[in-house]
Structure 1
Amino acid sequence: MKAVSIAMATFNGTRYIGEQLESLRQQTFLPAELVVCDDRSSDDTIAKIEVFAKTAPFPVRIYVNEVRLGFRGNFMKAAHLCCSDLIAFCDQDDHWYPEKLSRCVEVFQDESILLVHHEARIVQAGKILSDRLDLLLDKNPVVEQLRSRPWLNPCGFTMVFQASLKKYESFWQSSIDLYHLNEKDTHDGWYFFLATSLGRTAFIEQSLADYRQHGSNAYGWNNRRARTMSERLTCLISNRSERLRAPAITARCRRDIFRRALSEPGQSGPDTIALQRAERCWSQLEKFCSLRLRVYENQTILLRLEACLKLLRLGAYSATASWDYGKKAGLRDLALGVVLSSFTRRYGTRLSGVDQEGNSGTGAIPA
């Protein structure tokens, strides 16, 4: 099987780092190395890692950043420094089951798989809150290129990916986080975006780690099942033009990343074909997002109807496109966008940001 590097980002993680490191020691398939990038911790996180490194059954390389990079940049640096064919992201506060790496690495016997992710339990203070992450990702064992939901990604600690994807890491600087437009993409969002855009991904239904919740998580667990009826109604009538602007901007950014990648010298062969297909699909998605924004932003009903009908002709509400909104979204756009747009703009300002709930369409563009 291929060798795997573990890319760990740390920052003031002394409370749980010991347990996490021990779970790495107990792996039935040992990593080729553990690469730790510390974001200038002020506690004894580094001291604990150094003690672990003396007896670890694999090499441990520790880097302390000269300036704080934040979790995005810290994880990206850790991945950059990894030397193996495969890379596994690792948080400082979770717990890996012994068979995690072996189960993930064996998937890559299929050379066409660019990334694999797995299920995990949600744990808080030793209590199991959920036996699964409850993410709205495609849970098929294998997902073909450009068939995964474009705006969603698994948690980084569940991912192992081909190091060949690092060839595009220079483009990360121009990426955008859909949910925080002033930030670059998250490390897990970035590599899942690349993997799903350029090739096949895989999913392991078995839980292979505990996702620890403790109040200081960079991103905690979002229990969608706990939403009240009032919250769901608010989501339905929220100011949809505001929620649709971010996907339009992000899709344009991702389209441009692939255009720039295609303009790089020496592009040829299968990589070029994959890049071309990704550029076409993200271009189409950018067009869909921009048109849908017009459904809610245009001041006259005729212009809103024209945008909605154009989306219909382009296949945005059916399965004829790589990503589609689904039929329910078409009816919603007709009702809330074309007919009731002024109402949603006036009374739908309670919910800000992009709805992460998705929809019933095959591509799950935010509805």
Structure 2
Amino acid sequence: MIFSNFVKPLQCKKDIAILMATYNGAEFIGEQIDSIINQSAQNWELFIHDDGSTDQTKHLLNIYANKYPQKIHVLYGKSTGNAKKNFFYLMENVDANYIMFADQDDFWDKDKVKITYKKMLALEKEEVNVPVLVFADLEVVDRDLKTISPKMSKYQGLKMENTNFNYLMAQNIVTGCTVMINQKCKALSLVCRERDNVIMHDWWCALVASYFGKIGYIDKTLILYRQHGVNSVGAKNIHSISYVKEKLNKDRDQKKSLIKSEKQVALFVKTYNIKDDYIKTYSELYKLKKFKRVLFLIENKVWKSGLLRNIGLLYFC
């Protein structure tokens, strides 16, 4: 089904709305949509918003929407300008009990929806009426879906248990295309209207779930995460010499990255009127002297994953 000039949010008739942001994705988008169509669980509808593609993406989306009018819905609204804004636009314009995010160029395991949904329901039983986010690991593959690394967590040296707020302030370990959020998490995430300092939609949702509710990790690879040179966000091998050289040569970029995370937390403090001292201090870390910045990070266990990243954190803070 194709929607244009829609006035109010679209209502998902199934439990799960899968939101896909697209832009010039014609090369791989057919494989991705097919992998969603072939899910073992079918309690979902797919909502796609294209951001002004100039290749054959729109044409392919129309073909799929006409073939599966009850399952696939294409939204033709305003152009947003980037993936973050596109996903927020989709969250604002689609109502559902649960939301999953989908990139245009990956390939989903046939049980991804079923496994993620089961984990979500289990977490919601533990604590009712709180924002919940569920995420999983990924298999890193090349453009032909050949394995580069069986688990992205190992490839990037990520500690997937680092979901407490003090860790998430400095580093996001939640990859959006593996995520499911409940309605409470979506509603709280959308309270934020000034999103220039939101780094990515998945990071913001993770902060919301970590602070106000619960995050659950599935220690399985439920996506083939395709690397093809033009990904919005790609996987990098932290163990490679090239990665180390890149980080050492880009000290300004690392400083900018840290400042962006501080600004994001400052926005979180402002949006939700946060009173916690350590969170407020991190949001204004740049105001402290170097020694006090280092001391704050150590005392409050504001760490990233891995020794190399934490050396960089302390050095560039």
Pair in the same fold by TM > 0.5: yes
Give the corresponding residue for 1:25.
37
Residue 169 (structure 2) aligned to one of 150, 156, 167: 150
Determine the C-alpha separation between the residues in 2 that align with 1:14 and 1:232.
31
Code of the residue aligned with 2:22 in structure 1: it is T
Determine the C-alpha separation between the residues in 2 that align with 1:161 and 1:93.
21
Determine the C-alpha separation between the residues in 2 that align with 1:42 and 1:247.
33
2:289 is the alignment partner of 1:295 = yes
Determine the C-alpha separation between the residues in 2 that align with 1:221 and 1:35.
25
Return the index of the structure with the highest Cα Rg. Answer: 1
Give the corresponding residue for 1:139.
160
1:235–1:325 Cα change, 3 Å: farther
How far does residue 71 in structure 1 lie from its aligned partner after superposition? 1.5
How far does residue 233 in structure 1 lie from its aligned partner after superposition? 8.5
1:10-48 deviation per Cα after TM superposition (whole angstroms, max 9, x unaligned)? 111111111011101110112431111011222221222
How far does residue 198 in structure 1 lie from its aligned partner after superposition? 1.3
1:89–1:358 Cα change, 3 Å: farther
Q: What is the percentage of aligned positions where both structures have the same residue? A: 21
1:14–1:38 Cα change, 3 Å: same
1:295-346 deviation per Cα after TM superposition (whole angstroms, max 9, x unaligned)? 33xxxxxxx5xx37xx75xx7524xx4x5459x99xxxxxxxxxxxxxxxxx
How far does residue 63 in structure 1 lie from its aligned partner after superposition? 0.9
Whether the 8 Å contact between 1:30 and 1:58 is mirrored in structure 2 is no
Give the corresponding residue for 2:18.
6
Greater shift after overlay, 196-205 or 227-236? 227-236
Please report the TM-score for the alignment, with normalisation by the length of structure 1.
Answer: 0.68
Counterpart secondary structure, 1:256: helix
2:32 is the alignment partner of 1:16 = no
Determine the C-alpha separation between the residues in 2 that align with 1:187 and 1:163.
15
Number of positions where the alignment pairs a residue of Structure 1 with one of Structure 2: 293
Determine the C-alpha separation between the residues in 2 that align with 1:241 and 1:211.
28
1:284–1:136 Cα change, 3 Å: farther
2:79 is the alignment partner of 1:67 = yes
Q: For structure 2, which runs of at least 5 residues remain unmatched after alignment? A: 1-13
Give the corresponding residue for 2:263.
249
Whether the 8 Å contact between 1:245 and 1:293 is mirrored in structure 2 is no
How far does residue 195 in structure 1 lie from its aligned partner after superposition? 1.3
Determine the C-alpha separation between the residues in 2 that align with 1:222 and 1:151.
18
Residue 138 (structure 2) aligned to one of 120, 132, 149: 120
2:298 is the alignment partner of 1:317 = yes
Alignment of 1:210-359 (within 5 A): 210-227=224-241, 231=245, 234=248, 245-259=259-273, 279-281=274-276, 283-288=277-282, 290=284, 294-296=288-290, 304=291, 307=292, 316-318=297-299, 321=300, 323-324=301-302, 357-358=309-310
1:190–1:244 Cα change, 3 Å: closer
2:44 is the alignment partner of 1:35 = no
How far does residue 185 in structure 1 lie from its aligned partner after superposition? 2.9
Q: For structure 1, which runs of at least 5 residues remain unmatched after alignment? A: 178-183, 260-278, 297-303, 330-354
How far does residue 64 in structure 1 lie from its aligned partner after superposition? 1.6
Determine the C-alpha separation between the residues in 2 that align with 1:229 and 1:12.
28
How far does residue 227 in structure 1 lie from its aligned partner after superposition? 3.6
1:74–1:227 Cα change, 3 Å: same
Give the corresponding residue for 1:98.
110
Alignment of 1:70-85 (within 5 A): 70-85=82-97
Whether the 8 Å contact between 1:9 and 1:71 is mirrored in structure 2 is yes
Give the corresponding residue for 1:275.
none
How far does residue 289 in structure 1 lie from its aligned partner after superposition? 6.1
Greater shift after overlay, 32-41 or 127-136? 127-136
Determine the C-alpha separation between the residues in 2 that align with 1:176 and 1:137.
26
Whether the 8 Å contact between 1:14 and 1:45 is mirrored in structure 2 is yes
Q: CA RMSD in A?
A: 3.6
1:58–1:105 Cα change, 3 Å: farther
Counterpart secondary structure, 1:151: coil
Higher relative contact order (CA 8 A, sep 6+): 2
Determine the C-alpha separation between the residues in 1 that align with 2:255 and 2:143.
40
Code of the residue aligned with 1:199 in structure 2: it is G
Please report the TM-score for the alignment, with normalisation by the length of structure 2.
Answer: 0.78
1:114-136 deviation per Cα after TM superposition (whole angstroms, max 9, x unaligned)? 01111111111322111122355
Give the corresponding residue for 1:351.
none
2:177 is the alignment partner of 1:164 = no
Give the corresponding residue for 1:340.
none
Determine the C-alpha separation between the residues in 2 that align with 1:96 and 1:21.
9
Code of the residue aligned with 1:150 in structure 2: it is M
Residue 191 (structure 1) aligned to one of 205, 211, 214: 205
1:206–1:280 Cα change, 3 Å: same
